[in-house]
Amino acid sequence: MVRTENIVSKRVYAYRHIAATPEKQEEKQHLSYLYVGNRFKKAAEMHTGFTVTHFLFSFDEAQKRLVRLLKAGTLPSLILIDGEFNVSQIRTFVNWIKANEEYPEMPVLVEVERCTPRQVELLAAERGITDLVRIDSNQVLAHKAMFYKKLQKDEQAVRQNLNEGFNWQLISQYGVVRLFDVVFASISMMLLSPLMLLVAGLVRLEAGNNIFDYSTERGLRYRTFRYIRFRTEACLQENQLPDLCHLNQYIRGQEPARFGTAGATGPIGSFLKRTGLDQLPALFNILTGDMSFIRNR
């Protein structure tokens, strides 16, 4: 006779302890997460797949709880923050986490379901935040926790291999790709430098002194970098507004003019977009290691 034993998972609240049986015991990964916010009902729905959940009201409580968990050796798999907090409060908390070496690569997610587009824009610009999420299923958070846990194990393996010295398997896996990127990008820049100078001159004639456009992108292991491309939109000046009144989409008396995109992109910008020549400066991103020709950036 085989005796079966029910494994009971734990939920740890700031004020009480609740025990519940997980829906799928075979998928249990000994995961835990720390939630900071006031939406406990929503957070409780996301408990599926986790062994321990810490629900806290404020960042001060979260810091104290993390210190205790560090001493106990039971740090959470990730931290989930309610996006309705003030951005400056979130920034202070995230900076505190990143400044402590005891919390290596701790994933910090922000739930933005109730955030305004402006709040999402501000949160996306914060470098310490790992990802912005909208949790629409009780399994989503557990899947993300498993993903980041695997990512951390991969990083630890790479660091261990580097500390041990030359690892030819690692060199063959990453070194060859990096060597190809550097060599091919260097050759491409030398061959295409006359064309890039010509395009830069044309862009300056049409768009003014701002030749390049920069955007923040996610790269390898979700690190942010500045993506470079040629500017394709013209810089409209105030004295040009009378000539653009026919482009006003919502003309009503003396209201401020709102213009469509027809006047924002000139003929040179349209040509660069069609041909993809506006992406030529991305070769600098490849040289610096932010992107790759043959691997995910």
How far, in Å, CA of 49 to CA of 9, rounded?
9
Q: What is the CA radius of gyration of the chain?
A: 25
Domain 9-164 fold is Rossmann fold (3.40.50)
How far, in Å, CA of 143 to CA of 140, rounded?
5
Q: Where along the chain do the CATH 3.40.50.2300 domains lie?
A: 9-164
pLDDT at 14: 44
pLDDT at 39: 79
Tokens of 95: 């900076």
Tokens of 253: 């008396």
pLDDT at 239: 53
| DSSP annotation string for 46-110 | TTTT-SEEEEESSHHHHHHHHHHHHHHT---SEEEEETTS-HHHHHHHHHHHHH-TTSTT--EEE
pLDDT at 283: 92
pLDDT at 16: 40
Residue 133 pairs with which residues in a beta bridge?
111
Report phi then psi at 92, rounded to 5.
Answer: -60, -45
Q: What is the mean pLDDT of each run of 10 residues along the chain (297 residues)?
A: 41 42 48 84 70 86 91 87 90 89 80 87 86 75 79 69 62 78 93 93 84 82 82 64 59 53 70 90 90 73
How far, in Å, CA of 6 to CA of 247, rounded?
68
pLDDT at 151: 75
pLDDT at 10: 45
